[in-house]
Amino acid sequence: MAKTDSATPDFNFDKTLRADANNEPFRFVLNGKVRELKHLNDLDSVDLSAVGRTAAANWQVIKLAADAETYAELRAAKPTVGQLNGFVGKYNEHCGIDAGE
């Protein structure tokens, strides 16, 4: 049941959603082309909730954030686990996510 009283809220989703509306995509170069991943805040949080912290999880996040062509080119590049972790680390950093979160 939603409360509509005048008490001061602990968290204002309306303000947060408006503030996050202008998130910039993460841009990177692959095969000589500039590619993009959607900002993490633009991804469905329900879909992200199932993602862990493994190489497979990194691929799941990339699949959610990339268009089909970019995802296919990234998979075809066959990055090592270390390269993938570094890439996802930079993506997370761009999105304001700490490695410990």
The predicted-structure confidence for 4-55, as pLDDT tens digits, reads as follows: 566 776 766 666 555 555 688 999 999 999 999 999 888 877 777 666 667 7
Q: How high is the pLDDT of residue 17?
A: 54
Q: In 3-state terms, what secondary structure has residue 51?
A: coil
- Structural domain of residue 71, as residue ranges? 25-94
In-domain check, residue 87 = yes
**What is the arithmetic mean of pLDDT over 57-67?**
91
Average pLDDT of the chain, as a whole number: 80
What is the number of domains present in the chain?
A: 1
Q: Please list the residues that pair with 16 across neighbouring strands.
A: none
Assess contact for 36 and 70: CB atoms under 8 A. Answer: yes
Q: In 3-state terms, what secondary structure has residue 33?
A: strand
Backbone angles phi, psi at 29, to 5 degrees: -105, 135
In-domain check, residue 66 = yes
> Which amino acid type is present at position 20?
D
Residue 92 burial (CB count, 10 A): 17
Which range has the top average pLDDT, 19-23, 62-66, 97-101?
A: 62-66
In-domain check, residue 55 = yes
In-domain check, residue 17 = no
pTM across the whole model? 0.69
